[in-house]
Chains A and B, each alone.
Chain A
Amino acid sequence: MAWSGWILVLTAGFYLGATWSAMGYFRNWNLAQDVAAGRFLAMGITAHIVFLGIRWVQTGFIPLTAFSEVLAVLGLCLSIGLALTRMRVRIPVLSSLFLPLIVLFTLASLAAGPTPGPEIQPQFKTTLLAVHILCNLLGYSYFTLGFFTGLAFYIQEGRLKEHKIQAWTFHLPSLETMDGLTVRFTAWGFVFWTFGIALGILNAVKTESKLPAYDPKIISAWCVWGLYALYFALRWGLRMRGKKALALAVAGYLLSLFTFFGVKLLMTTHHTFGLGS
């Protein structure tokens, strides 16, 4: 393994430490363990940034072309999203939900190995392309955060509705908080997604002077955008809340997963960088 790979191992180690501490909090409700999870997360983010910086220098282009790099960036986006949320609201239980996911992405990135991505033609090596991919990855990350917060809302809502109250129910944040976070995460995801699509169009026009309109990834991305747009229209326009609104957000997220993994695995697409984006 190249020495930069060891930095990713170290990153995974820090995230594992954070997950262990966050799970410890979930078991014992000891705030000191949540604080430890936060420290491990900060160390993980630092190591993660160092790893991606080294990859950038090594490959001469933003590390988004190989599958392992895309997964690593996705993991970093998630961990930064979580860290920013932790700084704004104190909901220790959220870390127990998200950190295993971050570990999963980091380990998947490690398992995928340092295999280089497809050779990119020089005319495609533009900042616009890099920002387009990054925006979409940030979109995925925030949709993921929104999805899991929504899931926690759904579970807690069901418990309250059916009076299945257990000790841990009292440790979850209020429905209002989780609902607010779900909307906020999803809104950020939507903003990044919209920018991602717009920059993708701009990049295609600049480099190829046309739009690959029938690319399944683009169609799927537009469908994701449409579903989330409908979600926000119903949510903010008709004040639709609770399970119905959540169902739409879940559909949007599942379609975004299909856009990320499914299109590449099942269909032919122009989007050959990494696995998705």
Chain B
Amino acid sequence: MKDRFIVFGLNHSTTPVEVREKYALPPEEARLVVESLKPDAAEAVFLSTCNRVEFYLRTDRAEEAITRVRTALNAKHKLKDSDAAKYFYRHDGVDAFRHLFRVAGSLDSMVVGEAQILGQVKEAYRSAVEAGTAGPFLNGVFQRAFSAAKRVRSQTDIARLPVSISSVAVDLALKIFTRLDEHRALVLGAGEMSENTAKHLVAAGVGKFWVANRTVEKARLLAQNLGGQAMSLAEGLERLHEADIVISSVGGDQPTLTSEVVRSAMAKRRGKPLFLIDIGVPRNIEPEAGRVDSVYLFNIDDLSQVAQANRDARSKALSQAETVLDQEMRELLAWLNNLALVPTITGLRERIESLRSHEWEEFLKKNPDLAPKDLERLERLTRSMAAKMLHEPTVRLKGLEDESDRFLYAKVLRELFGLNPPPGSAS
């Protein structure tokens, strides 16, 4: 029977989170499940993220492999196979390759273009290699998927534009300042939203952090998390002119930063730009502060609008990304076509080599008196003749563009030279 490449699993679009989370397996258990597939699948990779659980298999016993996995997973979570069936999907052959490319390229993600998925696919593949369940075929397929994903990320807008409020804030900061590590951020208020945004800025490399809060103890806790310095809210406002980025989320009806306070801080900053991020509701910073020269003020709605616009732009970039995947798919299919010829070409080479070495042995027996130097020359001649005879047919066979021609020629070669039928090649 012929080997096939299939994808089997569930994801965020087919399965609600409360079901999905039941199927997510810790690495050790995942390894056991993949290893249990060895009788049914020649090669297997298991991918488990918070949004998908998928098996990538090269198998000639697809139904058995799928049943084995589903039974194991459903038994573990006490789910009826008939109830769970609706969540699972399966892709075969070209559709399966395309699915893998779309997953690695983040086109199939819940947030299209998100960065983590490529790392997660790489990790899944690495685990499979370590477990010995991924061989040369999946190596070729996954390496091509990684390269396609990189092209999608570098040649389209799909991953470039930030889509979460915190990442929009970081990207806007990078549109004002070249290097964040040379700048200081001041966090006003120690709430959750401030913390999230501040953490993104820390990850982006902001050099110094001050956390100012009405309750200094709370400020101290957040400052410890961020590796910054805590102070009272009053002190924070006093030192406003020393900060380059201000994240404000302080409770209260009155604005914490009035335009006058900002204007006076800017006078001390001598024109150096100031980025104000107001994520408080009601707003903490007077809108008029945004009109002061070299002050860039964004409130939560402004950031949300940018995030939404970027999401729209990412959706528009989808067709660009699909075009890139089309090109990569063509290359993958060409590789697969060549791969299907490998057993025939290898068989042919082995046959010719066995004939040559047999004839050489016979020749040696009949001519024991020849000088070693002459023997060496003659053997080199036989090897060279065999290689040259094989070169032309190999090149021509690989060069055939029509798949049915390749299949026919390969079959004729196998018939004519009495080669073994090829072992299952994946399609």
Contacts and interface: CB of A to CB of B under 8 A. Distances in A.
Contacts of A160: 172, 175-176, 296
Interface stretch (A24-32, A118-126, A263-271): A24-32
Interface in B160-215: 160-162, 171-172, 174-178
Contacts of B177: 174-176
A32 B320 CA distance: 16
A242 B154 CA distance: 32
Interface centre among A169, A170, A242 (most CB of B within 10 A): A170
B290 interface: yes
A163 interface: yes
A177 interface: yes
A239 interface: yes
B264 interface: no
Q: Classify chain A's interface size.
A: 20 to 34
Contact of B154 (A30, A156, A171): A30
A242 B306 contact: no
B286 interface: no
A88 interface: no
A174 B174 contact: yes
Contact of B175 (A28, A175, A242): A175
A156 B296 CA distance: 12
Interface in B109-142: none
Contact of B271 (A167, A173, A176, A241): A241
Interface string B145-166: 0000000001111001110000
A29 B160 contact: yes
A115 interface: no
Contacts of B310: 167
A171 B296 CA distance: 18
B273 interface: yes
A162 to B, nearest CB: 9
B157 A167 contact: yes
Nearest to B291: A161
Interface string B305-334: 110011001000000100000000000000
A165 interface: yes
Q: Say whether chain A's binding surface is mostly helix, strand, loop, or mixed.
A: helix
A174 B182 CA distance: 14
Interface string A157-196: 0001101011101111111110010000000000000000
B374 to A, nearest CB: 55
Nearest to B310: A167
A239 B155 CA distance: 40
Given A163-B298, A167-B313, A30 B172 contact: no
Interface in A229-276: 238-244
B10 to A, nearest CB: 33
A243 to B, nearest CB: 7
Contacts of B155: 28-30, 32
A13 B172 CA distance: 38
A29 B272 contact: no
B384 interface: no
Nearest to A159: B175
Given A170-B171, A239-B270, A241-B271, A31 B178 contact: no
Contacts of A28: 155-156, 320
A239 B272 CA distance: 9
A239 B175 CA distance: 21
A160 B294 CA distance: 10
Nearest to A156: B175
Given A31-B154, A163-B298, 16 more contacts: A29-B156, A30-B154, A160-B296, A161-B296, A163-B302, A163-B305, A165-B306, A166-B309, A167-B161, A174-B176, A175-B175, A176-B176, A176-B273, A239-B271, A241-B271, A243-B293
Interface of A: 28-32, 156, 160-161, 163, 165-167, 169-177, 180, 238-244
15 contacts: A28-B156, A29-B155, A29-B157, A30-B155, A156-B175, A160-B172, A163-B306, A165-B172, A170-B162, A171-B160, A174-B174, A176-B176, A241-B271, A241-B273, A242-B294
